[in-house]
Structure 1
Amino acid sequence: MHVAPENLYWNCDPAKFTFSTTEELDPLDGTIGQDRALTAIDFGLGIQDQGFNIFVLGEAGTGRYSTIRKMLETKAAQEKVPDDWCYLHDFEDDNHPKCICLPCGKGKELHRDVEDMVRRLAEAIPKFFESKEFEQQKARLADQYQEKNRELFQGLEEEANRDGFTVQGGDGTLIIVPLNQDGKPLSKDDYEKLSADERKYIDGKAAILKDRLNEVLQQARELEKVLRETTRQMAKDALMFAIGHLFEELEEKYRDYDKVLKHFKDCKKDILYRIDEFRPTPPQFAQFATQAGTTPKEESPLERYRVNLLVDNSCCQGAPVIFETNPTYFNLFGRIEHIIQMGNAITSFRMIKAGSLHRANGGYLVIDCRELFANPYTYEALKRCIRNHEIKIEDMTEQFRMMAFVTLKPEPVPLNCKIILIGPARFYYLLFAMDPDFRKFFKVKADFDLTMDNTEENIDKYARYVATRCRKENLLHFDRTGVARFVEYAARLVEDKNRLTSRFLILSDLIREAVFYARQSGKNYADASHVNQAIEAKIYRSNRVEERNLEFIKEGTVLIDTDGAEVGQINGLTVIDMGDYSFGKPARLTVRTYLGKGNVINLEREAKLSGPIHDKGVLILSGFFGSRYAQDKPLSLSASIAFEQSYGGIEGDSASSTELYALLSSLSEVPISQGIAVTGSVNQNGRIQPIGGVNEKIEGFFNLCRSRGLDGRQGAVIPIQNVKNLMLHEDVVTAVRKGEFHVWAVSTIDEGIEILTGIPAGEKKEDGTWPEGTINYLVDKKLQAYSELAHKQGGGNDNQGKS
């Protein structure tokens, strides 16, 4: 049947709009045409059970990111701000820093207070050791020690004098020396002159006094030890008295936080334990240490008392919403940094840095699935975090190093975060099929559709979308004709009068381009002419290959006829997809039939230029011929089918009806009009089935016919199911309205062959024969002749077909 001009295009009537320009409209609140996805996202955000993380799937440009951002920001603003997280030094195990959580804002406050305390400690402790009071107390203890020490040695000296001995010191030692009658030390010569009994007496006394000297020395050492301990304890007591108020102030402020109080207690114990490290180093020793090769700038012992503020949520107005655009391992899970000193890698708990999971803890983390899989180890590590409910900071590169560095094993941070992955549909289904963990951890699927229903409600939302985009980007607004043309283009993008596209990335560009041309022409608003100009300009930027193909046909390099009639030759319609642009290209298809064994030879398949779907379409033709013509005789036919001047791959079954028409023409020897092009797939019963790219196919053939001159007999035959997909260019509609071009819609092969040949197809009679002079009669007659000839030559198939 002829398709009426009004069915070739769906018009959006500007008169239906109640506004004059989009400036009058309220901004759009929400997403258009994604009710299923919005319901899934709302469910996923609301349910708090384990594993109900969300995977948002759909094509780019359908509003996935903008929708999830808006929904998350709205929901997060109503939720509680999560706690701050800090790392503290573990005084029991230096390599395992401890994490603590504090209410929002308290972490930053604690960090600031501890920084102030450390600064004051750094000033107070050196002043304490250099103070006169400390020196006086230390001197007083030293004097007491000297007095007791002097008493010890004075008693020893008196005891030795009574026995005729004296105590002398030399080279750091004390010795017992006998005295002569003059009270002077006895020389060695005088000693030798003494009698044996006298020497024996002196030796005995000397032995006793030496034992006594050893006792006194031991007591002196004990006194020195007591002095050191007493001095150290005095220093501890005095130091704690001097700095204790710094801790008392904070202990009172943070009395409700046990872990903070324990940290302050451990700090005080550590200061007293390391008290000698805080003593000022004498200049001569510092100079000696530098010359010996040690680093001149060592970390202060006070550094261990600081607080590493890992996550600060003090500025949040609700739950955090983090979009991680570069989900590397370290960006997601945090890192432990190092500094190089004297060739060594040094780290500390203060060099632990947070990742996106830490910042999103208590809120929401959004990750692009493609970016996630582009970074090694991140997906598996993310699953571990979800499985164990904790964020563990590890040095991922440690296993690949030849030498082990000094590193830390921080205490894991508990994880409470809703994770949203965004990616193409193929990623979702691949993960669901291949990864058992995926279906446990991402139980919510939010599927963004490419299309929506063409309803008055959605059209109104389209208009508000235009208004919102114009306000947001400070663009010229559209009048009602511009909005109507904009909506029509949305229907063209999906090739369906009853649906509109959801790819707002493309539509946003159209708005900007139309406004560009409106401003260029000095208009205050963008109208339909500017939208058309933007569409045509975009086509012109992209259709170089299309125009070159058309030139090849016009100049005769590629052979395509648009007038006359030929047997076994027909114009098929194909679509070339360039990625950003697709266009229709006519293709000549020829068929040759001859006596054979029922084989249909697809030359594209033999040359390995066709895909499996195209091959299947050709094989269906054998089923059609067997069902219709071989119920009373064997099918003794062979045929070859070829797309002429086709040098690339061919895929799809949209040419199967075209091939069948050419076969019928070849067998009936009835020519096919070359001014008509055909598209559509066919089943074994001869019914025409819908195809894709119908608008591009018709427009491609129309452009060729127009370039050669329209004669009123040219047109295109399409499946009847594709009438609802027609959104043809205005030039095609105008030509059809004038009768210069035609579009026919058919539901069966018989309808199509009548249009192509002008001869009735014919309906089968009750006796199994066909009306004389019809296409089916001529085909059946030729096949009967083939069968008889094959039987005479002994090469036919004598088996009768069965219905």
Structure 2
Amino acid sequence: MATAVLNASQLYRHADLSLLEDCKTTRDLAPLDDIIGQQRAQSAVEFAMSIRDKGYNIFAIGRSGLGKRTMMLRYLKRHPQQQTLSDWCYVANFDEPRTPQVLALPAGSGAQFKKEVEKTVLRLVKALPLAFDNEVYYRRADKLKTQLAQRQEATLAELATEAKEKHVRLTINPDGDYQLTALNGEEPHTEESYAALPESERQQFDDSIRHLESRLRGIVRQLTEWEEEFSTKQQQHDEQVAREVLGHFFKPLKDEYRTIAEVRNFLSAMQKDMLRNLDIFLEQSEDQLGLAYASLEKKMPRRYQVNLLVTQDSQAAQFPVVVEENPTYHGLFGYVENATFRGTVFTDFSLIRAGSLHHANGGVLLMDAIKVLERPYVWDGLKRALRSRTLDLNSLERQVSLSGTVSLEPQPIALDVKIVLFGDYQTYQLLQYYDPDFCELFRVTADFEDTMPRSAQVEGSYARFIASIVHDNQLLPCDNSAIARIIEYSSRQADDQTLLSLHSANVANLLRESHYCAKSANARTIRAIHVEQALNQQEQRVSKLRDQLMQGFSNGTNLLNVKGSAVGQINALSVIATSDHQFGMPNRITASTSFGKGEVLDIEHKARLGGKIHSKGVWILSAFINNLLGKTQAIPLTISLTFEQSYSSVDGDSASMAECCAILSAISNMPIRQDIAITGSMNQFGEAQPIGGVNEKIEGFFDVCQLKGRKHTQGVIIPASNVNNLMLKKAVVDAVAKGKFHIWSVEHVSDALSILCDMEAGHADKRGHFPLHSVLGTAAANLAILRDNDKG
């Protein structure tokens, strides 16, 4: 028989901090640089970060609470990559106003460029009007006007003299029109005096006036040409004055940015545009210039502003690492705002706003995969940007509607970014199956582990991991007792003495709550007692359902015996899980027999309350019993099997050993001890198989025994393969150490049957016969009697 009674040292593994000899608190420990216990994921991240080619983005897989994001941020922070970064600006495109121009500047120089350009423009706003408001400019302008006036007056005077010789007067009426009038001496003819003239004189006047009008039209055309010539000269004069002023102010800028061709070309284009639009600087009408100057920031022409979209710190060694908590389309890809001025809605390049991809350009952007997939159009937009490696800031509204609203089409920005998506296995598998682009764009999978092997060296690293959390959250330092207790808690979370849990969220929450308990006690360090207090408070908050169910055992509502013995009745163990808590709960399983055809009637399955795995377990134990007792002849019994007082679904095969023992007890009519509970799965050969939740199951039966009355014979049977999973609470370990509670490990269901019936289960000899004074021997004898009676 492979049965072992476990001692207290096997029920709980204490932390070994012998490698931390010089450590008194977490202050003496250096924070952990690497991703603890995640060598596979860390290797994948290092590989992806070292390749800048398209498609080598990362999908980090793991359950929630593993601290994937925190560990990734810590790794990226402490392992910076060499990357050339740029500041990005949008400026006016003076040739195509609807297509704002993008400028790439060396990291950290964008703010200075914006400041210098806008400072220059603000100085020009003052300097240009002053250049046109001085005596030199006025003398030159007056000279041009005088020359024009003299030429006009001389030509008109010549025509007036010629007209006077022909007794015709040239006058200019108030509307500015020229008029030729026949003279009667020194005064113009009236209609009556003109009509009284002889026909020959009137004809002579008409001929003279027609000739003079012809001359006048030619002179007017000449005057117009001279005015245009004057206007051209005046404009050239203005441009010459403005060019001198602009050249003076733009020269330092051009010299400073002479090595950046795009910037120098932009400054030249701005200078030319200012020459073409001098009225923006010289016009005094507020109504005409209001829209040109309408700005949310500065009192300067909007077209000459610089929209600094993204700026990087040139002194920082770290490339940008951005965490996007809410990846909406506009939040990720940027957008163009609208502004209103005196009832007019308008937009331009200065209203372009950056998104997370702009800020992460040249670095890493971290997002939750589920949130990305939930937001409309975000996944498609992200794939489009990663494929093209450009950020094309187009209006989402225009893409998804039939509206013909005029909008901007900014020049795209070159995109060089690593995307890290965090998700679980289900999300990863769905994307792989349904989206053919996914594997092309996310070629690297960082698979995060749930647990890590436990050893003294690993516990030392885990202590540094605890120190990192304490440091990052600015908590009180933990002394060695607290470090040890948290490591032991982590092992309990992993459900294995040989493993440590990597669910950093649970450890961080425990540390924060322990910090609160220590602060409440005015302690300067977190000690084990504070960790225990935090754990007790956690359990108290979430244990309402367990307390309600336990109350049923204390008042007798839930029928369960923890003393005596009974035939076909056994105490099995199960785990009840809520969203934030799981606990063990004993259940009574009963088996009854009646004459039949050797069938096992699973009442849970018949009532459609049994899950598929539970049904499989029942069929496996049926096969084992048939192989054991019905190898040569059918078992002439129908066996009914059920979970008593179970009104919800039952699944899993962890009760199959208990069910098998109950059935064999019913067949053999041998009573089963009720002071013992059992858990464990089995195969067709009766071998015990490991199950989950073994700690909770043992503690659940221990608590019920305390409620219903303790006996020193009470205990639990578990599979031998579950011994390494034991990290029991202190009350159970102490009870075992004092001999007041027992835990047996078994390798075969027959071993469990021997303990439960206080009799050897029995092993078949070469002829297949069992010893008479054994459980199986008694069962075989009872079946033989039934077969004989059936034949008779």
Q: When the two structures are superposed, what TM-score results if normalisation uses the length of structure 2? A: 0.91
Q: Residue type matched to 1:303 in 2?
A: R
Query: What are the superposed Cα offsets for residues 581-636 of structure 1, whole Å, 9 maximum, x if unpaired?
Result: 22110111122333445543333333333332223222333333444444434455
1:96–1:454 distance in 2 versus 1, CA, 3 Å: same
- Contact kept, 8 Å, 1:63 with 1:503, in 2: the verdict is yes
Deviation, structure 1 residue 230: 2.0
Deviation, structure 1 residue 684: 2.3
- Contact kept, 8 Å, 1:2 with 1:742, in 2: the verdict is no
Q: Secondary structure at the match of 1:130?
A: coil
Are 2:133 and 1:134 aligned?
A: no
2:158 matched to which residue of 1? 155
Q: Secondary structure at the match of 1:593?
A: strand
1:474–1:94 distance in 2 versus 1, CA, 3 Å: closer
Q: Secondary structure at the match of 2:410?
A: coil
Q: How does 1:415-564 map to 2 (within 5 A)?
A: 415-469=415-469, 477-514=477-514, 517=517, 526-564=526-564
Deviation, structure 1 residue 560: 0.5
- Contact kept, 8 Å, 1:347 with 1:406, in 2: the verdict is no
Q: Of the candidates 236, 240, 263, which is equivalent to residue 239 of structure 2?
A: 236
Deviation, structure 1 residue 349: 0.8
1:97 matched to which residue of 2? 100
Q: Of the candidates 146, 149, 153, which is equivalent to residue 146 of structure 1?
A: 149
Measured in 2, the distance between the counterparts of 1:523 and 1:216 equals 105
Deviation, structure 1 residue 778: 4.3
Deviation, structure 1 residue 165: 2.6
Q: Of the candidates 38, 48, 52, which is equivalent to residue 48 of structure 1?
A: 52
Are 2:82 and 1:85 aligned?
A: no
Q: Secondary structure at the match of 2:258?
A: coil
Query: What are the superposed Cα offsets for residues 727-772 of structure 1, whole Å, 9 maximum, x if unpaired?
Result: 2223222322333222122222222222222333333333344444
Q: How does 1:676-691 map to 2 (within 5 A)?
A: 676-691=676-691
1:569–1:118 distance in 2 versus 1, CA, 3 Å: same
1:797 matched to which residue of 2? none
Q: How does 1:771-790 map to 2 (within 5 A)?
A: 771-780=771-780
Query: What are the superposed Cα offsets for residues 688-707 of structure 1, whole Å, 9 maximum, x if unpaired?
Result: 21100001101111121233
Query: What are the superposed Cα offsets for residues 655-680 of structure 1, whole Å, 9 maximum, x if unpaired?
Result: 12222222222222222211111111
1:398 matched to which residue of 2? 398
Are 2:171 and 1:168 aligned?
A: yes
After superposition, the CA RMSD in angstroms is 2.9
Mean CA deviation greater in 382-391 or 99-108: 99-108
1:362 matched to which residue of 2? 362
Q: Of the candidates 191, 195, 213, which is equivalent to residue 194 of structure 2?
A: 191
Mean CA deviation greater in 266-275 or 366-375: 366-375
- Contact kept, 8 Å, 1:633 with 1:784, in 2: the verdict is no
1:302 matched to which residue of 2? 301
2:721 matched to which residue of 1? 721
Deviation, structure 1 residue 91: 0.8
Measured in 1, the distance between the counterparts of 2:519 and 2:128 equals 72
Give 5+ residue unaligned stretches, structure 2: none
Q: Of the candidates 205, 208, 229, which is equivalent to residue 202 of structure 1?
A: 205
Deviation, structure 1 residue 156: 1.9
1:699 matched to which residue of 2? 699
Q: How does 1:285-296 map to 2 (within 5 A)?
A: none
Identity of aligned residues (%): 34
Measured in 1, the distance between the counterparts of 2:253 and 2:521 equals 70
Number of aligned residue pairs: give it.
783
Are 2:1 and 1:2 aligned?
A: no
Q: Secondary structure at the match of 2:29?
A: coil
1:800 matched to which residue of 2? none
Deviation, structure 1 residue 654: 0.8
- Contact kept, 8 Å, 1:717 with 1:746, in 2: the verdict is yes
1:409–1:573 distance in 2 versus 1, CA, 3 Å: same
2:61 matched to which residue of 1? 57
Q: Residue type matched to 2:567 in 1?
A: V
1:252–1:484 distance in 2 versus 1, CA, 3 Å: closer
1:669–1:343 distance in 2 versus 1, CA, 3 Å: farther
1:739 matched to which residue of 2? 739
- Contact kept, 8 Å, 1:345 with 1:406, in 2: the verdict is no
Deviation, structure 1 residue 93: 0.6
1:801 matched to which residue of 2? none
Q: Secondary structure at the match of 1:179?
A: strand
Measured in 2, the distance between the counterparts of 1:222 and 1:475 equals 86
Query: What are the superposed Cα offsets for residues 427-464 of structure 1, whole Å, 9 maximum, x if unpaired?
Result: 33332333222211122222221211111111122333
Q: Secondary structure at the match of 1:510?
A: helix
1:298–1:163 distance in 2 versus 1, CA, 3 Å: farther
Deviation, structure 1 residue 23: 5.8
- Contact kept, 8 Å, 2:5 with 2:744, in 1: the verdict is yes
Deviation, structure 1 residue 523: 6.1
Deviation, structure 1 residue 54: 1.6
Measured in 2, the distance between the counterparts of 1:183 and 1:404 equals 71
- Contact kept, 8 Å, 1:22 with 1:463, in 2: the verdict is no
Q: Residue type matched to 2:237 in 1?
A: M
Q: When the two structures are superposed, what TM-score results if normalisation uses the length of structure 1? A: 0.90
Deviation, structure 1 residue 80: 4.4
- Contact kept, 8 Å, 1:762 with 1:775, in 2: the verdict is yes
1:324–1:470 distance in 2 versus 1, CA, 3 Å: closer
Query: What are the superposed Cα offsets for residues 460-516 of structure 1, whole Å, 9 maximum, x if unpaired?
Result: 223334455556666554444443333322222212111112223323343454455
Mean CA deviation greater in 30-39 or 393-402: 393-402
Q: Residue type matched to 2:282 in 1?
A: R
Measured in 2, the distance between the counterparts of 1:719 and 1:557 equals 30
Measured in 2, the distance between the counterparts of 1:208 and 1:518 equals 115
1:196–1:516 distance in 2 versus 1, CA, 3 Å: closer
Q: Residue type matched to 1:309 in 2?
A: L
Query: What are the superposed Cα offsets for residues 13-71 of structure 1, whole Å, 9 maximum, x if unpaired?
Result: 56675246226733233243222222222222222222111222223443323322222
Q: Secondary structure at the match of 1:561?
A: coil
1:785–1:11 distance in 2 versus 1, CA, 3 Å: same
Are 2:26 and 1:27 aligned?
A: no
Measured in 1, the distance between the counterparts of 2:32 and 2:587 equals 48
1:626–1:735 distance in 2 versus 1, CA, 3 Å: same
Q: How does 1:194-343 map to 2 (within 5 A)?
A: 194-281=197-284, 298=294, 302-314=301-313, 316-318=315-317, 319-343=319-343
Q: Secondary structure at the match of 1:559?
A: coil
2:371 matched to which residue of 1? 371
Query: What are the superposed Cα offsets for residues 528-577 of structure 1, whole Å, 9 maximum, x if unpaired?
Result: 44444443343334333323322211211110011122222111101111
Measured in 1, the distance between the counterparts of 2:652 and 2:423 equals 27
2:40 matched to which residue of 1? 36
Q: Secondary structure at the match of 2:4?
A: coil
1:206–1:369 distance in 2 versus 1, CA, 3 Å: same
Give 5+ residue unaligned stretches, structure 1: 793-803
Q: Residue type matched to 1:313 in 2?
A: Q
- Contact kept, 8 Å, 1:254 with 1:261, in 2: the verdict is yes
Q: Secondary structure at the match of 2:15?
A: coil
Q: Residue type matched to 2:271 in 1?
A: K
- Contact kept, 8 Å, 2:293 with 2:301, in 1: the verdict is no
- Contact kept, 8 Å, 1:32 with 1:458, in 2: the verdict is no
Q: Residue type matched to 2:364 in 1?
A: Y
